[in-house]
Structure 1
Amino acid sequence: MADQEEDFSSLPLPDRFAHKNWKVRKQGYEDAAKTFEATPDESDPAFRPFILDSGLWKGAVADSNVAAQQDGINALCAFLKYGGQQACTRSRNVTITPIVEKGLSSTRAATKQSALEALLLYIELDKSDPIIEDLLPSLNNKQPKLIAATLSAFTAIFHAYGVKIVDPKPVLKALPKVFGHADKNVRTEAQNLAVELYRWLREAMKTLFWNELKPVQQQDLEKLFETVKQEPPPKQERLLRSQQAAVEAVQANGQEDEAEAEFEEEQPEEINAFDLAESVDALSKVPANFGESMASSKWKDRKDALDALFAAVNTDRIKDGPFDDITGALAKSMKDANIAVVTVAANCIECLAKGLRQSFAKHRSKIMPAIMERLKEKKQSVTDALSAALDAVFASTGLSACLEDTLEFLKHKNPQVKSETLRFLIRCLKTTRDAPSKPEVKLIAESVTKLLTESVEATRAAGAEVLGTLMKIMGERPMGPYLEGLDDSRKAKIKEYCDVAEVKAKDKPKPVAPPPKAAPVGQKKPVSKKPAVGTKKPAPRPVTPQEEPAPPPPKTASKVIPSKLSAPKALVPPQKSGLQGPKKLAGPGGAAPPSTQSPRRNITPQDDEAAPIPSKLGRGLAGRPLARPGPLSTTASESAPPAPQAPSITPGERLELDDLRSEKEYLLRTNEELRTSSSKYQSQIHELQNQNAQLIEDHTRDVLSIKAKETQLVRARSDAESAEAQCQRLSRELDRLKREVKRMEAERSPSSATSDHIYREKNSNNSSGNSAAAAPPAERPASATRQTRVDSATSLADSRETGYQRMARSYAISPSEEKENGGLDAAEGEKMARNRSPVKGGAAATAGKREVSGEGESWKRAAEVTSQLKARIELMKAKQGLTKR
């Protein structure tokens, strides 16, 4: 066995990692961990085989033997801890899944802890996104044990790094499904994860998954959240390698407190729902007739349109788009006479500003002045809505962008506008995270100081609060010049507001101090520690005598001391020898005494002691440097520190430095002004382009509507002409029918009289001819025969005339019209009535009369009647169009 162990230990580590014997693998894992711990840096050759062949770690993490697996995961942790970022990026693709499946769900607590430590190291060395992506599929695993272990790992990751390093969105989206799992342990781990996320996100986390939970689950979580609400905000407990390097760099300069303060300030106080929400396309939800409704003369239509817009934009995050028309309509609504319309419009502006954030900055120039102008409204509900809209606009832009319009409205004539604008400025100063620049402080102080003498108490109090809040940000000393002309009562009030004010901004002079300290650090890091603590420790001075063997510097130093103008020459030697620069910076406080003592030594005692030496050597001046090489070097080393003091003390260089700083501030201010004006002009250009496009669109719409109206007018004219022609035709037809009826009625009376006359004659002939007809034809007289012919012709005419009489009677003419149209006169009517009335013995009387009148007259009369009837019948046919033309 000893031989086998020696043989196994002599194998390379990669071969032992892939060995069949688990004991060999286990020993290889242990030796690898020790080897990695002993490496000096990340570039050691021991890491090379495992970086090139990352599959070795897959077998080590998922080892079939639990004891070997534990050592394999420990070896991976050592590999990651000492191998650096390259070890992380090369191995995580093949190790995350085995760690989750075999390590986190292991029965050994030590293995679980090592697996979790490996995951934390992967995040520490690079970033968290790849790790989270590989962990999320495990939540869909069929084994409840594996799901619970993954949820526990998520909880540990967020607890160590927080939501600023690890993105919580993918995990929050997967939580609802896990809450409905059948296993109790899975649901418990899900609740623990939700509580941990609530510690960081608070109410913002509910935007992604809260609505998908059941009411019972929501109630259980609310009970758990109550205990977390009382806790202070969490802080990141584990730093990334990049953060560790930054902290170490700051600590190397002796600024441990500043490093800790900066790290604490980087921790997020509370994550906003905007950062977690998904972008929503609100433009697609805005009604198509929004512009028409806003242009309506009825306030109800305008309010309904704004309500529909509010429902569309009332979301946590809005996708950017062409909102220019909408913001223009909202700005116009600020002038609306109806306060309900103004309130809803302000709510829409607030939602747009919160949903668009930085994308809303281009709309600020036309929205903000309109809101401030409406601050004169006295109703509190309207003022609150306008103030909330202004706060949202400020949050999406910043103090510098809103300051110009704010200061302009401080000159407004309306006292209420001034007061509300000052309150808005107070809220801006309290919530901003960027302290105003010196020119901005000057503008604010000068504008607000003038309002301290206003007649309205609210305006004076708000002005004092503005100055107090500004003093809290900038400090009492920078604000002193602006408060010189004020009386003591106002100064006391401003100081009182300064004491109670709570601000989030930092004063700019604090970060200005590090640049002078950074200059020596760039020259040499070890010496840079000493100037930082130079005021407390005099240790750097004894270091100077050790650096004596440089004869040229003493000569230059002796020349430098008498004249201050030659001080820049002393800066030349440090470039040749790196030790001279630090020596000069080592003791800035004690540089002056050595510089004053060394000339005295050269003038008084050393000259007296050097007098006998030239007598021995024969040369008076040649012996002096030979007699005192040591003292000169020591004095040069002691006189070296004052050289760098000259640039910091020389008035000329100080003036030049002040000029450069003023020029820098001027350039920065000019650059800011140019950027502001450029953005303003860009927004104006964009607005004009939108207006031009809107005008073109309106013009096109008007032209199309005019053409449509012209087409409708042409059609209407043609329809009117056809209708008029139809009316004329019908009128002519009506006139013709009337004339026809009149004519037929006019012809009716003579035809009826003639027919009655013929009827009477026919009856008389029939009565007289009965006797003749009864006799044989041979015995009939000639008069009877002729009478029979006449009767037949009369009956034919009577039959023809009766048909037309029926046609004439069908027109149903009134008696008055019959009389007007030439009806029968009274005499003829009485005569026809007598002839038609039955009289006893009438036939004999008629026969007698006809016999007396004679046969000739009867024949003539019958012929005339017949001819008249024929003519009238033909005339009637011609009039009615019955005859062929």
Structure 2
Amino acid sequence: MAEAAQEDFSQLPLPDRFTHKNWKVRKEGYEAAAKEFKQTPDESDPVFKPFLQDSGLWKDAAGDSNVAAQQEGLTALCAFLKYAGPNAASRTRSTAIEPIREKGLASTRPAAKAAAQEAILLYVENDKPDFVVEELLPALSHKQPKVIAATLSTITIMFHNFGCRILDPKPVLKTLPKVFGHADKNVRAEATNLTAELYRWLKEAIKVVFWNDLKPVQQQDLEKLFEKIKEEPPPKQERLTRAQQAAAAVAGDNEDQNASPEGAEDVEAEDPVEVETLDLAEPVDVFPKIAKDLHENLASSKWKERKDALDALLIVLNVPRIKDGPFHEIVGGLAKIILKDANVAVVGVAANCVEKLASGLRKGFAKYRSNVMSPMLERCKEKKQAIADALGTALDAVFASTSLSDCLEEMISFLTHKNPQVKLETVKFLTRCLRNTRDVPTKAEVKQTADAAIKLLTESTEVMRSGGAEILGTLMKILGERAMGPYLDGLDDIRKAKIKEYFDAAVVKAKERPKPIAPPAKTAGTSALGKKVTAGGKKPAGVKKPAPINTAPAQEEECTPLKPQPTARSLAKPGLSRPGSGLSAPAGSKLNALKKPASGAASPQRRVISPPINTEDIETPIPSPARFAPGRGGLAGRPLNKPTPATSHAEPAPTPPPSSASLSAAEKAELETLRAENERLASLNESLRSSNSKLYTEISELQNQNAQLIEDHTRDVLQIKAKETQLVRARGECDVLRSEIESAKKDIERQKREMSRLGRESLGRHQQRDTSAITPTSPLPPDEINNGGIYTDTNTNSSSTVNGARPGTSVLSRTGSAAKQHQQHEEKENAGDANTAPGLFNSRRKMSPTAASYGGANGNSGATSPHRATVAAAALNGVTSSTATTTTAASASVNGSRDRSPAEPAENWRRAAEVTSQLKARIEQMKARQGLSRPQH
């Protein structure tokens, strides 16, 4: 009964057995599937179809509840992934990896665990590796520590086999802080192993992602582990992906195809992995952190402010990777400081900023290279070693962001600099560039560099000659001794020995791969006329070797034979066939039934060999007379006797090298494609050149505009400063004038007070003199008044006239002489006060004639007149001539009153007193109006 059931189970289809409820049936089904997968001829076998359509079958097989069945299920999955091709991995990845990481990797059976790890590696080999890593990372958050530890161990094996070139280490590095903080020691141990494996590939670059999140104790333990790893040789990729395997098969011959993966990856393993490490860090946007007044501080006249601004900028730029942005102004400011700043400390910090910016931007810094490379090379004239080292490091960072082709022209120009220090630093920089470049220089660049280095061999200083020899030795290391032979032919043995020393010691990253020499064809072939020629036989005389055709083996399998077969129509035409084209049979002959050659049987330069030609089906064409010219391969290559059948010919006619007509259709198509591509590239290059010229024109225009704006700004600033200077001077002059006005006002007030005082003193003296010296007497008769007037002496009470000899004559004479003396005294006072009171002096001079005329009008001297006091007082107080006129008129009125009423002396004197008081009041009013009022006594 059991045997019958067993027989029935074996007859079930494999998908049904995969889903059977009996674990033994499932186990046997897994084993049967693995055997059938191994026996399939190719990936298109029908046995794979049900498993490709239903990927859930592998989910149940990889996560089978029975450990024994699970082991066989994982083995069957490995066979499926190995023989079904990339399509199998892509369709089953999303469903099969989850049970593998949950149950397979943490299995207690070593065979099951090994099968699960092999399945993961096959997924990486066939599918996209990044997707596989994404499927495994969720297991690091599993609640069971053994699942986390098993997943970390599998990831470590993945990186060990494929390396960081195939697998992206960035997602894994981001999860390391979490697993290092796990409570289980096995998880932490597996995390340490994974970190060590990543360090083998990435070195110090792994620290930029997770190092700061670790504990100090963990950092110390890892540092000790890293010290041991540094002594190990660089790792190599031990397992190839399907794409790499195909590329290796196409590129190499049969021996290369059967070589080990290590041999196939020798070329890639030589390149250091640090090239890819900068992609681990996330780009940082540094623009918000840059100070707003950076450019103002960089343009400051104080070096301390410039250095502080650059120190702050250096702190901002000190990140592993910088997000690209418009750094034109910052780079321009740094280049200006490096070229023109007089303080070497500021120049050193600016060079450090350029280094950090170039290292952070990487290829994004290439557009700023032309702005900073020339200033840095020019500033290499500084002899201070610290500045030279900073500039050299910055130059290396700038070169790392570009290529040798971009920088070579500029470096060659500085090799002829007049400053020997600049020339020496340029030689060192060029040597470092040749060592670190990954691109082999072109022939033009090699010639340019070699010519410049040979000129350095004739320098007067030993260090320059050694630098030229080192450049040539490094270049020889890249190209090889054979390629550098023509450049070293003219040198003496001593210089060649020096170059050979540097050649032996040089370590470069780019090496010219020698082109493989095509071996001679070893397969049997036939001549143009049908005679079979073996590979080891002697080549017929006069037959030239056809040009080798470089085609890949894979393309040869799919294409038709390389030599096109002429049709019967072409053979029917008169004349000989085209040299090198051979003979062909008409349609339907045996030549049209040729099978294509087996792939892999010939070298890359193999030729398609036709079988022996049946000459019965071939018509011998009649040669054209035009073909009989010597040297054309016509009758000159044939005997003069009667032509024999084609089978009797032992040797073919000599054929020239194949021309373009002998190319196959595929080669012609490829040639046309290459020509079209060449034309497209030429047009693209031309458009780029025109665009480049336009951009250069715009740059020059913008530079001219910038220079004009700077000039206008400078002129405006100078004008503003000139206006400010004029304003300051005007303000100073205004202050001086104000002080002068204040002093003038004070002098005027002082002069006014002095004039008032002098006027009061003079008026008082005159009033006293007039009152004491002259006193009017009784009125005179009219006839006496008309004759000069009568005055009475106060001492004698006697009257006298001017013309008569009366007893009072002596008194009047004395009075007249006294008046004259008083007048002379007044003139002396006026002359003495002329400098201090010119206005008063002029007033006196103007009033003097009026007073004299007044005295003369009455026939008297006027010295003893009672009106003299009024006139003198008006003159001393600055009264104008109008005042004197008024006084004269008043005196005239008094005289008139005397004439009218001579008999009433008392009344006349009363009226005179009233007139005098009125005149005094008017004088006081005029003084008040003129500001010369004085207090009343």
Which TM-score band applies after superposition, normalised by the shorter structure? 0.5 to 0.7
**Structure of greater Rg:** 2
Residue in structure 2 matched with residue 412 of structure 1 by the alignment: 417
Alpha-carbon distance between aligned partners in 1 of 2:234 and 2:489, rounded to the nearest angstrom: 41
Say which of 315, 322, 325 aligns to 2:326.
Answer: 322
Contact 1:163 1:200 in 2 (8 A): yes
Residue in structure 2 matched with residue 833 of structure 1 by the alignment: none
Say which of 296, 304, 324 aligns to 2:308.
Answer: 304
Q: How big is each residue's C-alpha offset from its partner over 1:584-606, in whole Å with a ceiling of 9 and x where there is no partner?
A: 999999x9xxxxxxxxxxxxxxx
Alpha-carbon distance between aligned partners in 1 of 2:178 and 2:197, rounded to the nearest angstrom: 18
Task: Find the residue that maps to 1:376 and give its secondary structure.
Answer: coil
Say which of 433, 441, 463 aligns to 2:438.
Answer: 433
Alpha-carbon distance between aligned partners in 1 of 2:55 and 2:16, rounded to the nearest angstrom: 13
1:214 aligns with 2:219: no
Alpha-carbon shift at residue 182 of structure 1 (Å): 1.3
Q: How big is each residue's C-alpha offset from its partner over 1:141-171, in whole Å with a ceiling of 9 and x where there is no partner?
A: 1111111111111111111111111111111
**1:236-315 counterparts in 2 under 5 A?**
236-252=237-253, 254-255=255-256, 263-267=265-269, 268-272=271-275, 273-315=277-319
Computed over aligned residues only, the root mean square deviation of the Cα atoms, in angstroms, reads 5.1
Q: How big is each residue's C-alpha offset from its partner over 1:228-258, in whole Å with a ceiling of 9 and x where there is no partner?
A: 2211011111110111122223344554579
Alpha-carbon distance between aligned partners in 1 of 2:53 and 2:88, rounded to the nearest angstrom: 10
Residue in structure 2 matched with residue 205 of structure 1 by the alignment: 206
Alpha-carbon distance between aligned partners in 1 of 2:227 and 2:585, rounded to the nearest angstrom: 68
**1:224-243 counterparts in 2 under 5 A?**
224-243=225-244
Alpha-carbon shift at residue 223 of structure 1 (Å): 2.0
Gap change, CA 1:678 and 1:551, over 3 Å in 2: closer
Shifted more, 366-375 versus 689-698: the winner is 689-698
Q: How big is each residue's C-alpha offset from its partner over 1:696-732, in whole Å with a ceiling of 9 and x where there is no partner?
A: 99999999999x99xx9xxx9xxx9xxx9xx9xxx9x
Alpha-carbon shift at residue 421 of structure 1 (Å): 0.6
Alpha-carbon distance between aligned partners in 2 of 1:585 and 1:90, rounded to the nearest angstrom: 37
Alpha-carbon shift at residue 269 of structure 1 (Å): 2.1
Gap change, CA 1:63 and 1:584, over 3 Å in 2: closer
Q: How big is each residue's C-alpha offset from its partner over 1:767-806, in whole Å with a ceiling of 9 and x where there is no partner?
A: xxxxxxxxxxxxxxxxxxxxxxxxxxxxxxxxxxxxxxxx
1:340 aligns with 2:372: no
**1:118-137 counterparts in 2 under 5 A?**
118-137=119-138
Contact 2:424 2:464 in 1 (8 A): yes
Task: Read off the aligned partner of 1:209 and give its amino acid letter.
Answer: F
Alpha-carbon shift at residue 203 of structure 1 (Å): 1.2
Alpha-carbon shift at residue 672 of structure 1 (Å): 11
1:403 aligns with 2:408: yes
Contact 1:324 1:690 in 2 (8 A): no
Alpha-carbon shift at residue 489 of structure 1 (Å): 2.3
Gap change, CA 1:84 and 1:259, over 3 Å in 2: closer
Contact 2:459 2:465 in 1 (8 A): yes
**1:812-827 counterparts in 2 under 5 A?**
none
Contact 2:297 2:305 in 1 (8 A): yes
Q: How big is each residue's C-alpha offset from its partner over 1:602-645, in whole Å with a ceiling of 9 and x where there is no partner?
A: xxxxxxxxxxxxxxxxxxx99964xxx8x54xx67x759x7696
Task: Read off the aligned partner of 2:421 and give its amino acid letter.
Answer: Q
Alpha-carbon shift at residue 391 of structure 1 (Å): 0.8
Contact 1:346 1:385 in 2 (8 A): yes
Gap change, CA 1:570 and 1:307, over 3 Å in 2: farther
TM-score between both structures, scaled by the size of structure 1: 0.65
1:505 aligns with 2:510: yes
Residue in structure 2 matched with residue 566 of structure 1 by the alignment: 579
Task: Find the residue that maps to 1:453 and give its secondary structure.
Answer: coil
Task: Read off the aligned partner of 1:319 and give its amino acid letter.
Answer: K
Alpha-carbon shift at residue 174 of structure 1 (Å): 0.8
Say which of 349, 352, 355 aligns to 1:350.
Answer: 355
Shifted more, 384-393 versus 579-588: the winner is 579-588
Contact 2:430 2:471 in 1 (8 A): yes
Alpha-carbon distance between aligned partners in 1 of 2:464 and 2:235, rounded to the nearest angstrom: 40
Percent identity reads 54
Contact 2:548 2:605 in 1 (8 A): no
Contact 1:362 1:683 in 2 (8 A): no
Task: Read off the aligned partner of 2:9 and give its amino acid letter.
Answer: F
Alpha-carbon distance between aligned partners in 2 of 1:492 and 1:667, rounded to the nearest angstrom: 46
Gap change, CA 1:252 and 1:447, over 3 Å in 2: closer
Count matched residues. 657
Residue in structure 1 matched with residue 863 of structure 2 by the alignment: none
Residue in structure 2 matched with residue 378 of structure 1 by the alignment: 383
1:58 aligns with 2:63: no
Task: Find the residue that maps to 1:288 and give its secondary structure.
Answer: coil
Task: Read off the aligned partner of 2:579 and give its amino acid letter.
Answer: S
Task: Find the residue that maps to 2:457 and give its secondary structure.
Answer: helix
TM-score between both structures, scaled by the size of structure 2: 0.62
Contact 1:429 1:470 in 2 (8 A): yes
Alpha-carbon shift at residue 519 of structure 1 (Å): 3.1
Alpha-carbon distance between aligned partners in 2 of 1:58 and 1:329, rounded to the nearest angstrom: 62
1:518 aligns with 2:550: yes
Contact 1:415 1:456 in 2 (8 A): no
Task: Read off the aligned partner of 1:172 and give its amino acid letter.
Answer: L
Task: Find the residue that maps to 2:388 and give its secondary structure.
Answer: helix
Alpha-carbon shift at residue 516 of structure 1 (Å): 4.6
Alpha-carbon distance between aligned partners in 2 of 1:304 and 1:159, rounded to the nearest angstrom: 47
Contact 1:353 1:393 in 2 (8 A): yes
Alpha-carbon shift at residue 402 of structure 1 (Å): 0.2
Task: Find the residue that maps to 1:271 and give its secondary structure.
Answer: helix
**1:540-555 counterparts in 2 under 5 A?**
none
Gap change, CA 1:154 and 1:451, over 3 Å in 2: same
Gap change, CA 1:15 and 1:668, over 3 Å in 2: closer
Task: Read off the aligned partner of 1:373 and give its amino acid letter.
Answer: E
Alpha-carbon distance between aligned partners in 2 of 1:97 and 1:370, rounded to the nearest angstrom: 58
Contact 1:521 1:527 in 2 (8 A): no
Residue in structure 1 matched with residue 160 of structure 2 by the alignment: 159
Alpha-carbon shift at residue 66 of structure 1 (Å): 1.3
Gap change, CA 1:277 and 1:355, over 3 Å in 2: same
1:47 aligns with 2:34: no
Contact 1:401 1:676 in 2 (8 A): no
Alpha-carbon distance between aligned partners in 2 of 1:575 and 1:474, rounded to the nearest angstrom: 48
**1:434-583 counterparts in 2 under 5 A?**
434-507=439-512, 510=515, 516=548, 518-519=550-551, 521=553, 524=556, 566-569=579-582
Alpha-carbon shift at residue 581 of structure 1 (Å): 10
Alpha-carbon distance between aligned partners in 2 of 1:115 and 1:693, rounded to the nearest angstrom: 70
Alpha-carbon distance between aligned partners in 2 of 1:249 and 1:304, rounded to the nearest angstrom: 59
Contact 2:97 2:135 in 1 (8 A): yes
1:138 aligns with 2:129: no
Task: Read off the aligned partner of 2:467 and give its amino acid letter.
Answer: A
Residue in structure 2 matched with residue 17 of structure 1 by the alignment: 18
Task: Find the residue that maps to 2:441 and give its secondary structure.
Answer: coil
Task: Read off the aligned partner of 1:144 and give its amino acid letter.
Answer: P
Task: Find the residue that maps to 1:518 and give its secondary structure.
Answer: coil
